[in-house]
Structure formats: C-alpha cells, structure tokens
C-alpha cells in the first residue's frame, strides 16, 4: 500500500476527526505519521465517505478492537445524550468478511453500545474497505488518541501487530506515532503476572507504578502493597528496588515436587505459600491479608525460638 505524503500530513488532525469519531466540540488530538493514512475514508479532496444508516443488529464489534473495558457511567451518559439528540457522529465500519450482509465496527463501538441502551434502532455509518491489519492499526490509533486504552490493552494491541501481522517494533511505533522505546516498554508489561495486569486494566495501578515490578518474583505482592498504600510511581519504584535486591530471580518453571511442597506448607500454615527457584537458590513467600495474619505468622515462626547453627544445615536448624 503506497502512502500519499499529503494524506499522511492530514493525520495530524487525528483519525477521529477524519472518521467523524471526535466528540462534538472536543479538540482533535494530534498524532504523528502513520502508514494507515492511505486507508482514510476520502473520496475527493476534503470530502468524506458518504453516510448511510444501518440497523444496530447488523453491526458487531471487531475482533481486532484492542479496547476491552468500557466505563459504565460514561456509557449511561452517552446513552441519554443519544436518546435525546441521536447519534451525531457516524461509526466507521467495514463489510464483515465472515458474515455476508453484516458489518464490523472499526471505530465507534462505544456509540453502538450506548445506542443499544437508548433503544435506537439504526445509526449513521461510514462504510470503508480495510484489511485486518489496517483495522487493528486504525483501532489502536483511534483509541490512543482518545486515551481510551489501558496500558495493558495498548500492549496487547502492539503484540498482535507483531505476532499476527509480522510488524516490527519500528513499524508499530510508526503506525501509532510513538517512539520505539515507548512500544518496547509497553510490551514489557505483558510479562507481569495476570493479576497485576488486571490491576492495571481496572485502573488501580498505573503503568508507571507497574514497570518497576517487571522481573520481580513476588510482583503480585508488591503490586498489592502499592495499591493499598497509595504509593506514587516514584515510591513504587523505591519499594520494588528494595524487594528486588533480595527477591529478583530468574525463575524456572515449577516441577511437581515444588508444587507439592507449596501445598504441604499451605496446609500446615493455613496461608497461601509460593516457592520461587532459579536453579541455585530461591525464596519462599507466605502471603497474608491483614496485620493480624502477619502477627500470627510471626508467632508461628518464633514459637520455638531461634535454633543454633549446625555443621550440615548451612543456616538454621528447624525448631522442633
């Protein structure tokens, strides 16, 4: 696909404005050059694709939509506005390649959802032709301009461009108008445990708070501490460094014996226990949910007193 440099400059107005995706009276955000420019819905100079109206039940969200979370309050507000004034900005759609006679939403899923709540039967749309890769590119740019994606959703979108469509990180960066370093750092968030990614997705943890946790064997515990204490990104980094000095491990997959040991310790203590091992050494983590539970763990560990060193234990002898 060749890219007209004049069309590329038009991207500075924002895909949302060109697609009719911008909310009324809202300034169009600026995004830099992107290779989806040739797919902009332009028929003649300065004229957009014609608007048609389609029934809601002929439209469906795209499988390439990176956005997974929709604010319920915002949807209700938009629904009331649509019920009163109708859908003011057309959705961008393409013919569904899997279902003849149906259409896939490229941009405007939020308006489609709100229209359902408002019991509107049809909505204005622009129908265009885009490849799967271009659909994902446009959806990413459109959502990033509106700041509607969480950092993890953004990372998943980048990863899909890399894995499913053979993009390089440089090309992804060019597509979305970001630096390659930004793309690389965002992708690293996907190495965090799923529970930590969930905290980012639901807004409890920011990307800045989460990045210092990458590589920590107990990232989930540190993440919970950051959320509970309401730490800033800088404070989170300091806390993570403190844990990382002793607990950052190149963890190898757990074998059945290690998993069995964890279960044995959990039954003995009544607490969630995880064992991390890097082939040489590791860490045993006992999780607690309250200060009372922490006091109980301390009592259990100190009930027999500290045992003296032995010649063959290289450390502590277990108290009987």
- Tokens 């939403």 — which residue? 105
CA-based nearest residue to 11, from 176, 183, 179, 131: 176
Cα Rg for the chain, rounded, in angstroms? 26
CATH of 5-178, one of 3.90.1280.10, 3.40.50.720, 3.40.220.10, 3.90.1530.10: 3.90.1530.10
Q: Report the distance separating Cα 298 and Cα 300, nearest Å.
A: 5
Reported as a single tens digit per residue, the pLDDT across 11-32 is 333 344 334 434 433 333 333 3
At 240-282, the pLDDT tens digits run 887 755 444 444 556 777 778 888 888 888 888 888 766 667 7
Backbone angles phi, psi at 53, to 5 degrees: -120, 135
Residue 7's pLDDT band (boundaries 50, 70, 90)? Answer: very low
Give the phi and the psi of residue 238 in degrees, each rounded to 5.
Answer: -65, -40
| Least trusted range by pLDDT, from 23-27, 49-53, 66-70, 86-90 | 23-27
Domains in the chain: boundaries: 5-178, 192-247, 256-302
Angle between helical axes of 109-117 and 72-85 (0-180°, round to 10): 70
Give me the residue label for tokens 């509970």. 228
Average pLDDT of the residues in 185-196: 94
| Catalytic site residue from 21, 104, 109, 153 | 109
Q: Which residues have C-beta within 8 Å of that of residue 151, sequence separation ≥ 6?
A: 186, 189, 200, 206, 207, 210
Task: Render pLDDT for 98-134 as a digit per residue (tens, 0 to 9).
Answer: 888 899 998 888 899 999 999 999 999 999 888 888 8
> If pLDDT is split at 50, 70 and 90, which confidence band does 304 have?
low
Percentage of residues in the chain having pLDDT higher than 70:
73
Catalytic (active site) residue 109:
yes
Q: Is 190 left (phi over 0), alpha (psi -120 to 50) or beta?
A: alpha
Tokens of 164: 């499913």
Helix ranges (DSSP H) in 166-288? 169-176, 180-187, 194-201, 207-210, 219-229, 233-247, 256-269
**pLDDT tens digits, one per residue of 197-219:** 999 999 999 999 999 999 888 89
Structure tokens at 282: 């590791």
The mean pLDDT value for 222-226 works out to: 92
Task: Supply the mean pLDDT for the chain.
Answer: 75
Lookup result for tokens 């709100």: 114
Q: Of the ranges 25-29, 50-54, 287-291, which one carries the lowest mean pLDDT score?
A: 25-29
């Amino acid at each position: 696909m060749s890219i007209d440099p004049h069309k590329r400059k038009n991207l500075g107005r924002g895909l949302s404005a060109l697609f009719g995706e911008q909310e009324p009276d809202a300034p169009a955000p600026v995004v830099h050059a992107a290779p989806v420019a040739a797919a902009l819905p332009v028929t003649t100079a300065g004229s957009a694709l014609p608007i048609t109206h389609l029934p809601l039940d002929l439209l469906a969200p795209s499988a390439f939509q990176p956005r997974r979370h929709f604010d319920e309050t915002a949807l209700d507000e938009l629904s009331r506005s649509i019920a009163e004034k109708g859908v003011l900005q057309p959705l961008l759609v393409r013919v569904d390649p899997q279902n003849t006679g149906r259409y896939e939403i490229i941009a405007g899923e939020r308006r489609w959802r709100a229209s359902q709540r408002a019991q509107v039967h049809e909505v204005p749309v622009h129908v265009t032709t885009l490849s799967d890769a271009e659909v994902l590119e446009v959806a990413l740019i459109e959502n990033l301009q509106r700041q509607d994606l969480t950092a993890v959703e953004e990372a998943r979108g980048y990863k899909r461009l890399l894995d499913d469509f053979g993009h390089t990180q440089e090309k992804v960066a060019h597509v979305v108008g970001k630096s390659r370093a930004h793309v690389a750092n965002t992708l690293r968030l996907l190495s965090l445990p799923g529970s930590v990614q969930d905290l980012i997705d639901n807004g409890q943890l920011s990307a800045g708070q989460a990045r210092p946790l990458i590589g920590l064997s107990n990232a989930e515990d540190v993440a919970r501490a950051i959320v509970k204490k309401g730490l800033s990104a800088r404070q989170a980094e300091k806390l993570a460094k403190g844990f990382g000095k002793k607990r950052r491990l190149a963890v190898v997959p757990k074998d059945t014996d290690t998993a069995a040991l964890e279960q044995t310790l959990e039954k003995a203590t009544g607490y969630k226990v995880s064992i991390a091992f890097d082939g040489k050494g590791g860490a045993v983590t006992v999780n607690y949910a309250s200060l009372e539970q922490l006091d109980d763990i301390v009592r259990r560990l100190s009930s027999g007193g500290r045992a003296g060193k032995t010649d063959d234990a290289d450390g502590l002898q277990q108290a009987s």
